[in-house]
Structures are given as C-alpha cells and as structure tokens.
Structure 1
Amino acid sequence: MSKKFKLPKIGMRSIKTFIATILAMVVSNVLGFEAPFYATWTAFLCIQSSIIGSSEMAIKRGIGTVIGGVFSLIYLLFMPENIYAIPFGIVGIIYLCNFLEKSDLISIACVVFLVISFRVNVVQNFDPTTHVIHRLLETFIGIIIAMIVNYHIKPPNPFEKLTGLNEELIDFIKDNIYDNGEFKRIKNLERFRLKMHEFRTVIQFYHKEINSERHNLDIKLYMEHLTLFRSVYSHIFILNSIKEGMNEDIEQYHIRKLIGIKNKLLKEE
C-alpha cells in the first residue's frame, strides 16, 4: 500500500518570517522609502531559530551594511560613471574585513555595496548621500522589526532538543547495559557518540542564549550528564576493544562502572 501523502506543516519560524516581512513593507511605505526591499530582506534574514541566532545575524547584517554603504558612498560620490571601479571596491571590502578578522562579513558587505552602487545606472539625478543613508535606515528598521517579532511572538526554545537528546542517551544506556554483569559488544556506539556530540553542542549554545531564563533550565544537571555520557562511551569503547578470553578483571571493572553510571542516571529520573 502506498503511504498517505501529507502536506508539511507551516512552522512558527515561517509564520514569524511572514509577520516580520509584512511589517517591514508597511513601515517602509509609511516612512516613504523608495522601495521596501532592504527592510524586508533584512527582516527575512534576521528571523532565526533562536534569539542568539537572530542577534548574531542582526549584528553581522548591521556591520556589513555599514561597511558596504560606506564603500558605495565613496564610489557614488567620486566615480559613479565608471562601473569598472566597482571590482576595486569589492577587493577593498574583502581586504578590510580580513584585516579586522571579520571574514564572515564579506558576503553581506559586498552584496550591499553592489546593490547600492549599481543603482546609479538606473536612477538619474539623485543625491548619493541621501540614497545611501536611506538604505542604511531601511536595513536597521528590518533588524529592529525582526528582533521584536522573534523575541515577543512565541520565542524559540532551543532547549527542548536538549531534553530529548538527554532521554535518547539514557535510553541507549538502559538498553545496552545489563545489571547481571554481562556485556555484549555494542555495534551502534558511533551513533551514541554523535548524539553525545550534539548534546554537548546544545549545552554550549545555552551559555550564549540570552533568552534562556524563560525556560527554567537546570543546565548544571545536563552538564553532569554529559560527563557521565562521556564516561559511558569510554568504558564501552574499551570493552568493545577487549578480545574474548583476555583479562576478565579488567572487563568486570568497566562493566561495574557502567552499571554504576546507569543506576545513577535512573535514580535522577
């Protein structure tokens, strides 16, 4: 039988992106900007899956826009008729960003520089300074709208994933560590290691997430669990490596350690 086709659900991030882009367009029109492109584009980019993700994108977008805007203003003021000067501006942006050790800003700054600089070829009799200032204002309007929407409309909770990973890792231990002192080689240990790495990444993320206080997360408990999971991996790795018939005392030592860790984790549930 063929599987039933199901349409994917529209996620909250998509809904918030829709709201942010609509607001960016409305605000741009109310303020009388030439077009809502810059504010809408920025709002779209800055709606991320976490508050810290949105903040980091907003900072990159803001600084990159300023750099690109300054270079485009220099071009528009001094050589607007010579489009072959534009590649020199790109090289200048790349050099500056590398000099500042901010290579992640290069693409944003260059895109802004190109979009603003090439505009001179389709718009006649305009003031370059006003043009660039408006583009910068639109960008920061998009940033502000995205941050407000992402923070106040169902703020993302990246720590739900941490709880799920914690349960998966504990279930793995329960399913593979036996209380009778026996040990069977575990073939999917690599999967456990990858889940453990993902678990550690989310914990590291916690320390940057400015919205973490809303979620009442006991991060110390999960950090303790990470230490226990690492010990489990080490003990199982050694047991998997021991050849049958070799030192039984060493084998029993690692098995006892694993049983102890398993019992400790189960008591906390």
Structure 2
Amino acid sequence: MNFPRIGMRNIKTSTSVFLCLLLFELFNRENALMACVAAVICMQNTIVDSFRKGTERIIGTIIGGIAGALVLFIISTFGRENILIFIIPIGIIILIEICVSFGLKNSVVICCVVYLGLLTSREHEGGYILYTINRILDTSVGIVIALLVNKYMNIPTDDIKYKLKISKEPDKDDAVKDILNENNNDETNMKDI
C-alpha cells in the first residue's frame, strides 16, 4: 500500500497553523481563526513569494478592516442591524472593485475574509473599533508566522548537493540522489497545492 507523500509546503502550512494556535493559547487570546486562515493563505513555495503575498494580505486586511469598521459604525449609529444582510454583499462588490482598481487582486480574498469576519460576528467585545483592530492584528500575526516558518524551515539542499559532489561511494551517491529527487519533487508538487 502506497501512502501519499507529504510535501514541504504542507508541513510548513500545518506548522504555521500550530504556531498560531500555540501563540494564542500562550497569550490566552481567544479566536485564533483569523491568524490560522492568514497563515494558510500566505504560505507559498518560496519566502520571496510568501513575503509578496504577505504584504498583499496585510494591505487587504487593513482595507477589509477599515470597511468593516465603517459599516459597523453606520449600523451602530443608526441602529439598523437588520439591514446588514443587504449591506454585506454590496460591501463585497465594492471591496473587490477597490482591490482590483488599485492593482491588489491578490488582496481580494483576505480583504473579504476580514470584512465578513467583522460583520458576521454578533459580538464585538470592547466595541467595534477595538474588535476591528484585534482582527487586523490576528491576521497580521498569522501572516508573520507563515513568513518566519517559510524562511527558517528548510531542507538543507545545498549540503546534500555538496555531499553528492564529494562522495566516492556509489551507495551514498544513490541515497543522496534519491533525497535530492524527493526534494525537487516536493518543490514541483508544492506548486499544485
């Protein structure tokens, strides 16, 4: 029976989620959902891609947070929470158009996730402004964790390649080549995840 191989991006993503959960537990902070979602969305094949995605996600988080806070301000000022069912979809249309207009297509998903997270939650402990700031902070924590994991959690391929060049024993060469092939397959397969 052949078990599917778990790729490095998969391991990095699950490690990022674990670290988000652990950090929230250590700081006795509730609701790690936004951090975990951001970590999953932000994890990419390389640190450069993750950094670019992370930057785009933070911008999207801020836009979605500001939009959500604005809607919550309007709703709390006029006391018309029953119209949220109509305002939320209109807001999604507007947010997508804003992101696309500013060339932030990759920010659309997290922008809408933060916006929806703010507006579909019925309880805003400490008021909607503090709630919005906390959700932006939570999302940013997930992004930073994903960036750090992607940067520092690597298979040392340079060491393996060096050993391949200096190895004189055929068995060791084959073993090293197998490891290199597995690593290259992981990198190829990561693009599909």
Does the TM-score normalized on the shorter chain lie above 0.5?
Answer: yes
Aligned residues: 151
Larger relative contact order (Cα-Cα within 8 Å, sequence gap ≥ 6): 2
1:9 corresponding residue in structure 2:
5
Alignment of 1:137-176 (within 5 A): 137-154=137-154
For the 8 Å contact 2:65–2:118, the answer to whether it is kept is yes
Name the % identity.
31
Structure 2 residue ranges without an equivalent (≥5): 158-193
For the 8 Å contact 1:79–1:85, the answer to whether it is kept is no
Q: Which has a greater percent of helix?
A: 2
TM-score (ref. length: structure 1): 0.52
2:19 corresponding residue in structure 1:
23
1:126 deviates by 4.6
1:241 corresponding residue in structure 2:
none
State the alpha-carbon separation in 2 of the partners of residues 94 and 156 from structure 1. Answer: 40
State the alpha-carbon separation in 1 of the partners of residues 124 and 117 from structure 2. Answer: 16
2:115 corresponding residue in structure 1:
113
For the 8 Å contact 2:16–2:39, the answer to whether it is kept is yes
Letter in 1 for 2:18: I
Larger Cα Rg: Structure 1 or Structure 2? 1
State the alpha-carbon separation in 2 of the partners of residues 46 and 103 from structure 1. Answer: 14
State the alpha-carbon separation in 2 of the partners of residues 96 and 105 from structure 1. Answer: 10
Letter in 2 for 1:91: I
TM-score (ref. length: structure 2): 0.70
State the alpha-carbon separation in 1 of the partners of residues 105 and 152 from structure 2. Answer: 31
State the alpha-carbon separation in 1 of the partners of residues 26 and 55 from structure 2. Answer: 25
CA RMSD of aligned residues (A): 2.1
For the 8 Å contact 1:46–1:143, the answer to whether it is kept is yes
For the 8 Å contact 1:41–1:142, the answer to whether it is kept is yes
1:30 deviates by 2.5
1:151 deviates by 0.6
State the alpha-carbon separation in 1 of the partners of residues 118 and 41 from structure 2. Answer: 18
